[in-house]
Structure 1
């Protein structure tokens, strides 16, 4: 009996051990298979550069899908008469099987040449692979083309982009070396003394490393008391280049020691505008911005608040209602901070903590904060180039949710695009909003999209939207636009993105409506009576508004504005102030008689945290976050959020930009500055920034500083319809047909339009009510004018020409040859 009892006891113990073992193993295996949190994957894509006789320039980052050639313009690569380029590839860990290239017209519609290079030279001491390509096709001088370089890698195809342009005597290598040398000399006070002759320094009592210019003191340009060293050397990127000038951008990283010996890192961007002369390179413009990488391991918590360091004062931040958690972005990273506990969470950051390179630290993306709740859960959007992770090498829009309790980030949806960050940023600048039902709203290429995040699907709520007649509220929760076609054409539609409720305002008979903007969540629109939209003799239309109305979404009229005897023109609507002119009719145009404004009297919501600036001896001007209450602790607790692996959830939008033609891009200071529908206004803006203007097809419309000293066109080469001297744009366009596109340059100066002559394009200039001439040449002292009636060409003094054209209203019309 005792033996049986002992046996049963032993059997039960073994059974329990077995069951517990099985359960434990199952539990362990279950945890192994269901723990779906991980760190972001490291970057894998190689880098591509152009080698100018041993000097590297134009670093290109890889895309995992082909991009639209006319929406990628990160660099310009000049070609000399040989049309040969040496391409350098930093493979990192990737195996490169082959390289191929494709040359397209600048609008991307036509392939000019494509070839494959099977063998790459690996004999260089820097570990880079090199290939020489020779473009055999006849490229037009001074015309940009898109160059796509494709690498066949062990992880699939990767695509790289630059613009190539055939230009003579560009002195490329000297320009690139100057930029690199200038940045390096600034690191040493003695070497920096040699830079004084290039600068236009003036005295200044403050040091702000985020806004350094050619007028800054030499002591500031050489980094004041910061004493940094370059920790990641940059490679110059050519933004513009011609026979006389070049614009170079240089991005690099510096490292400095703080008061406690801790390491501070700064991302620096230098911009150089240079001119080559027989004796030396002249520095025409210089700008620098330095932005500190946030690191809570340094001393950042003070009695005054949270020190963010050297950066722009406009901080993207969002706090929950009681201020217990504040989210903010800095240098491409997203952080949260809890003042009561001193807890920091690094929620999203492409930059690696160690062993990083420019592939992960590159900032070609932005972060928009969408909402934060009481517990610290956060919704946010990342848009632009994805440096690493699941969508490495894609440009697009990602919607994310951060769970505070689990310390995990979940990707809700990703929307890939085929345009680079600077174009995507311009598009998303109009509208991007996520409601509580996880629906994302975007306006792209004239279409209003509703992306259903949970279902990975989308709907088009409206199309054919005129961007000039579309406006969104301060929170992006409401929008309004004038319907341009269909049975409801002319009506203004309002939408609430939280409820998806809509309503329309219909103009009364004899009236039309103009969407002007929003003040807070209230729409502002104008009423124009029939006959009050005046088109002057130059074809420019101005709306004379009779009444401005401010209206809530429910239709409640908040305010109306009207002035007897006046028309309201030139309206600009801001968040706190609306400004406009009061004008009278003068024939076919309006004459400004007075100015007025409407103030937004709504009290601003109280902020629990604000951004403030202060000045220090070592870092100059710095930024801090000031809280209502003093932080409870100065000891930081630093966490890094994990990424939740949820599989790929992508939505591919059908965005067609081919129908957008009347667009002009202003590039200045190293990037895309703005877009315009009026080429004359684009030129005037570019002139003020020493920039360039390109059209939708990425053709040069105008360049600052690239004009020959004298030139006279062969009149037989000027299209016959242009020689007619007509300023009727419809007649001119009909005469040009498919060979060219008319551009109205009315409002530009004579000096501005002489660029068109230099670019081999004649300009029609109005000289009186019923008379015009065609400018076909110029020199230092004269313009050369063609008389449309006789066909004779004669000189006319430059000062007299300026006065003649000004008296006639500076009405100029030219054209662009369409790409073939």
Structure 2
């Protein structure tokens, strides 16, 4: 038999297996080493320092306006931070803090407000002493008094050009120096130990006892105006911006920094004061006063005791998100983003431009931070939009999307979207639609363009363009978009789930059309209009009265009805959503077709806002007065908070391939309401814009831009002359005669009655005849609001029933003067009687501006 011999040691097959496993192990080690090295090669940094020069323009002796630079050319028409009042010689005095920035050349350009006319463009000689450059020039005598012009300064060196934008005006009869002196007196007195003299100018509300220093108005108490027990001192000079100059009033803004000592540590607070002041021969009137104050947080100013996070003086309506267990809260304060993790005992500074509060380039407040989401670990997505004070996008205006990884404590820049609009326009137009999916797809609505981006593949695609405000609505979670293809109403409303990319439709019943209105959280609100109810008002505008309103939930790719609102004889004209209440703007329609406003109605969400895991409260402080506090999850009975570390998060910056630009694509005229230097509303609804400006003593500009409405009209207007019915319409209806007289006033004589018989409306007749004019449908505005156009010297067409109308051609403090086209005479009517009279016919007004 054959002998078999067994070798001592490990069998061969096992050795082979071990060899294979060893090779696999080596390959794995090499692979993970490569991956680790790749991940380690990602450069984690912090926000780089500001480098651009600050330009100061001095005026009225000791005042100066600060201008911040842009590395790309902006749309100058919307750069409205300030107006520089020129002296009688039209001198402009410039000072530039250039620091380490080399300046090779300096030039200026003066343009008309609508940018269509170049007044002048010249290079400037300058002097340099240390890091300060000074220059001056005399504006050309082509500029007219009391008219605004754009001033663009350009600083150049071998590497780049930096642009600075402002407005200039040579005022006459505006008393700008006296008004500035008063504002400076008010500011200094409020900070002094004795502010009693200011009681003459403020209008305290006796029913409020607020001790909130974060927001003070003309209706606040004298104690609040005088900073109460707060012991802060001003740091540096006040930065002055005159924002509106007229013979009726001047608005101006002061920006400055306050500091106070707390246990030998310095705390800093940014402050902004808005004034509206009128000068008369008898006295100066403070028409409006609004001051905001906000603490700059740092390691020394955050107070954490037990489960309470005290963030000091700030707006109680803090933007914040928390995880579900209430152990992590992320919040925005003074343009910076912070996150507190109670479990890890860490306070993190996620994003900020401010590493030196005394550098005005870093505290420039023309940006916002928007939180998009947060998970249980504190990982979140957020957006920084507006002017970039420092960093790799310094001097640009845009939208920056970041992802913060709480595990690795790193914020990664994902995409930067550039814009040529100012921060104020961007902020007012900023859509609620920003959504990032789990698959790193990003959707954003910018100026009517829905942009899709794959953050993995760095591809972009425009999904829709030219959407106006009334065409779409966005859900509270930003996940759902509802839109219609038509501009006003449609038979189909589309709804897209951005997370999945799927869409479905809501279809109108037979003989009806639909109108998307809004979302309340993720419940969709839309109105239904019967086609037979669609009508044209006395001005010629089409009205879509909604007979029913529906609130629908969204689930599994379809909508389901939750609630409907319908009341016989009443129609819904529009809605206003505030918190969890829907305010219904309602109308009735008479048998003769007259539209009459009626009392509003409301729909309240009985569920309301769900309790947040981290509630926010206010408390009183002996020095700061009202402070804002987050109440985190209570600690265990025997648990002690211990030391809380303050950390600055790392930043991973994207390369240039992740920078894109989106052009504006809205098709309609937009109106911007400026209150001081801030845009409080951007809308395509003129009446809403006028109402907002009227309520806040603001102004309305369109997107050319030109002034469309101002609160500050004269107290009286002499009767407009040259009002007469054209000979060809002397036997026509009252409507035709009124329109004829309007056109004759502007040098046009056409057969209006023939145009009306052919189906034309007042709006269409004026639009086709008055070339070079903007025809304004003012239906729904109040009588006092439309008197602004009479103040400009333009008659206002007022509908007074079927085929009849009058022209408002003058006014005084108690009366209006109207032209009756049937008698060719002017008559007076008491202001209150006239208000009631025109309301009876639906406040249908039409006017125009050149």
Partner of 2:125: 119
In the other structure, the counterpart of 2:745 is: 718
Corresponding position of 1:666: 673
Match of 2:19 in 1: none
**In the TM superposition, what are the counterparts of 1:70-219 in structure 2 within 5 Å?**
70-79=77-86, 82-108=89-115, 110-122=116-128, 127-139=132-144, 143-153=147-157, 155-190=159-194, 192-201=195-204, 205-219=209-223
Displacement of 1:257 in angstroms is 2.7
Q: Deviations over 1:219-269 (max 9, x none)?
A: 2222111111012432111111101211111111111233x3432211111
Q: By how many angstroms is 1:401 displaced?
A: 2.1
CA distance in 2, matches of 1:618, 1:806: 52
d(CA) in 1 for partners of 2:354 and 2:566? Answer: 57
CA contact (8 A) 1:340 1:633 kept: no
1:346 to 1:389, Cα distance in 2 relative to 1, 3 A: same
Equivalent-residue separation in structure 1 for 2:785 and 2:579 (angstroms):
35
* 2:73 is the alignment partner of 1:66: yes
Cα distance in 1 between the residues matched to 2:842 and 2:39: 76
Aligned 1:761-772 pairs, distance under 5 A: 761-767=794-800, 769-772=802-805
RMSD (Å), alpha carbons: 3.3
Distance in 2 (CA, whole Å) between partners of 1:686 and 1:608 is: 38
Question: Whole-Å Cα distance in 2 between the matches of residues 634 and 589 of structure 1?
Answer: 71
User: Which SS does the other structure have where 1:662 is aligned?
Assistant: coil
Report matched runs for 1:536-551 at 5 Å.
536-540=537-541, 541-546=543-548, 548-551=550-553
**CA distance change for structure 1 residues 539 and 485 in 2, over 3 Å: closer, same or farther?**
closer
- Equivalent residue, structure 1, for 2:763: 729
| Inter-partner Cα distance in structure 2 for 1:266 and 1:670 | 20
- 1:383 maps to 2:416: no
- The CA distance in 1 between the partners of 2:289 and 2:447, in whole Å, is 35
Q: Deviation per CA, 1:650-681, whole angstroms, max 9, x where unpaired?
A: 33334134x54432222225411113334344
Determine helix, strand or coil for the equivalent of 1:37: coil
SS, match of residue 427 in structure 2:
helix
CA drift of 1:815 comes to 0.6
Q: Which residues of 2 match residues 286-685 of structure 1 at below 5 A?
A: 286-298=289-301, 300-353=303-356, 356-484=358-486, 490-540=491-541, 541-546=543-548, 548-553=550-555, 554-561=557-564, 563=566, 565-569=568-572, 570-573=574-577, 576-580=580-584, 585-587=589-591, 588=593, 597-600=602-605, 605-630=610-635, 632-657=640-665, 660-685=667-692
Measure, in 1, the Cα distance between the counterparts of 2:841 and 2:269: 53
Which stretch of the first structure deviates more once superposed, 422-431 or 241-250? 422-431
Matched, 1:253 2:220: no
Q: Offset of 1:337 from its aligned partner?
A: 0.9
Contact in 1 for aligned 2:100/2:131 (Cα 8 Å): no
Q: Is the 8 A contact 1:610 1:627 kept in 2?
A: yes
- Check whether the contact 2:321–2:374 (CA below 8 A) recurs between aligned residues: yes
CA distance in 2, matches of 1:444, 1:504: 24
Distance 1:178 1:97, change over 3 A: farther
CA contact (8 A) 1:49 1:56 kept: no
Report the TM-score, using the length of structure 2 for normalisation. Answer: 0.84
**CA deviation map 1:335-390 (0-9, x unaligned):** 11111232111111100146x41100112111112233344333211111100000
Equivalent pairs counted in the alignment come to 780
Distance 1:286 1:664 in 2: 24
**Structure 2 equivalent of residue 686 of structure 1:** 693
Q: Equivalent residue of 1:220, what SS? A: helix
Matching of residue 745 in structure 1 with residue 778 in structure 2: yes
Structure 1 residues 80 and 683, CA gap change in structure 2 (3 angstroms): farther
Farther off after superposition, 614-623 or 539-548:
539-548
1:662/1:723 Cα in 2 relative to 1: closer, same or farther (>3 Å)? farther
Deviations 1:63-94 (A, max 9, x none): 11111123332223345665443333232332
Q: 1:410-440 CA distances to partner (integer Å, 9 max, x unpaired)?
A: 2111111111112112222431111122222
Label 1:804 to 1:552 Cα distance change in 2 as closer, same or farther (>3 A).
closer
Indicate how the Cα distance of structure 1 residues 179 and 725 shifts in structure 2: closer, same or farther if over 3 A, else same.
farther
Give the direction of change, closer, same or farther, for the CA distance of 1:333–1:237 in structure 2 (3 Å limit): same
Change (3 A) 1:676 1:210: same
How far did 1:769 drift?
3.9
Which residue of the other structure, out of 242, 248, 253, is the alignment partner of 1:238?
242
User: Are the equivalent residues in 2 in contact too, given 1:350–1:360 (CA < 8 A)?
Assistant: yes
Task: Quote the offset at 1:469 in angstroms.
Answer: 2.8
- Contact 1:664-1:695 at 8 Å conserved across structures: yes
CA-to-partner distance for each residue in 1:513-551, whole Å, 9 max, x for gaps?
111222332322232222123333234514233452514
Deviation at 1:452, TM superposition (A): 2.2
Shift of 1:729: 0.9
8 Å contact kept, 2:98–2:131? no
Deviations 1:297-355, CA, capped at 9 Å, x for gaps: 2461113510011111112222234344321111111111111232111111100146x
Give distance in 1, aligned partners of 2:503 and 2:560.
17
User: Matches of 1:753 and 1:596 in 2, distance apart?
Assistant: 26
| Distance 1:546-1:76 versus aligned 2 partners, 3 A rule | same
CA 585–790 in structure 1, closer or farther in 2 if over 3 Å, else same: closer
The residue matched to 1:685 in structure 2 has which SS? helix
SS where residue 532 of structure 2 aligns? coil
Uncovered stretches (5+) of structure 1, i.e. residues with no partner: 1-26
Give the Cα–Cα distance (whole angstroms) in 1 for the partners of residues 583 and 831 of structure 2. Answer: 38
CA contact (8 A) 1:473 1:520 kept: yes
Q: Give the conservation status (yes or no) of the 8 Å contact 1:84–1:135.
A: no
Query: What is the deviation of 1:403?
Result: 3.0
Q: Which residue is equivalent to 1:45?
A: 52
Change (3 A) 1:308 1:528: same
The 1:735–1:592 alpha-carbon spacing in structure 2 relative to 1, beyond 3 Å, is closer
The whole-number CA distance in structure 2 between the counterparts of 1:723 and 1:171 is 45
Alpha-carbon distance in structure 2 between the residues aligned to 1:89 and 1:173 = 24
- Aligned mates of 1:279, 1:478 — CA distance in 2: 58
Distance 1:590 1:766 in 2: 11
Q: Which residue of 1 aligns with 2:739?
A: none
- Greater CA deviation, 805-814 or 291-300? 805-814
Q: SS of 1:286's equivalent?
A: strand
Q: 1:214 to 1:117 in 2, by over 3 A?
A: same
CA contact (8 A) 1:240 1:246 kept: yes
CA contact (8 A) 2:273 2:291 kept: yes
How has the CA–CA distance of structure 1 residues 582 and 373 changed in structure 2, closer, same or farther, with 3 Å as cutoff? closer
